[in-house]
Amino acid sequence: MVRMETPVCDFGWPAPDFDLPGVDGKRYTLKEAAGRNGLLVMFICNHCPYVQAVIQRIVRDAGDLQALGVGAIAIMSNDPTDYPEDSFANMKRVAAELKFPMPYVIDESQAVAQAYGAVCTPDFFGFNGKLELQYRGRLDESRKEAAPEGVRRDLYEAMKQVAETGRGPAEQIPSMGCSIKWK
């Protein structure tokens, strides 16, 4: 397992479009996933200990952001060949068990992860209402273990600011996780 850190936010970078199948049987595009005040695109998977440590917080924050007009979508781009836990069937199970408030979609060709420059799981891309990148940071100070309750919600606070002002914070701490499992 390689520890990866995401690059610094490229403010204003336009969100690449996508059209991906979800665990609910529907297909999702960039425009369908976006909310009126922005969009959070997350690259996650089921097997990564970094994701497992914070998945409840991801679900909470995605739900809380919807109330602010920020859409969210979770994309699984790993090659499940060596990680059967990341299979489409297991994606369906996890989304149902955790009551995902956002679509959970598979990027089987890995073209979307490549278009976004996704590096790790979890990797967060926060866009404003014009679908311009404003946040490329961490969820909170969690690592392979969840940080204590009550820590600053970096992702939520940044996306709240984006929803209200259209701009993300100047200071952002990169996300950290397991590398994307490329084919």
Predicted confidence (pLDDT) per residue in 48-85, tens digit: 999 999 999 999 999 999 999 999 999 999 999 999 99
Domains of the chain: total: 1
Name the residue range of residue 57's domain. Answer: 3-179
CATH number at residue 147: 3.40.30.10
Alpha carbons 7 and 150: distance in angstroms, whole number: 26
- The phi, psi pair for 125, rounded to 5°, reads -125, 115
pLDDT at 1: 47
Provide the whole-model pTM.
Answer: 0.95
Q: Is the dihedral of CA 119, 47, 98, 175 positive or negative?
A: negative
| DSSP type of residue 81 | T
Tell me which residues of the chain have a pLDDT lower than 70: 1-6
pLDDT tens string 171-180: 999 998 999 9
| Count of Cβ atoms closer than 10 Å to residue 92 Cβ | 15
- 149/35 Cα distance (integer angstroms): 28
Residue 69 is predicted with a pLDDT of 98
The β-bridge relationship of strands 104-106 and 70-76 is: parallel
Q: Position of tokens 């690592």?
A: 143
Residue found by looking up tokens 């199970």 in the block: 93
State residue 4's pLDDT score.
58
> Tell me, what amino acid is at 103?
P
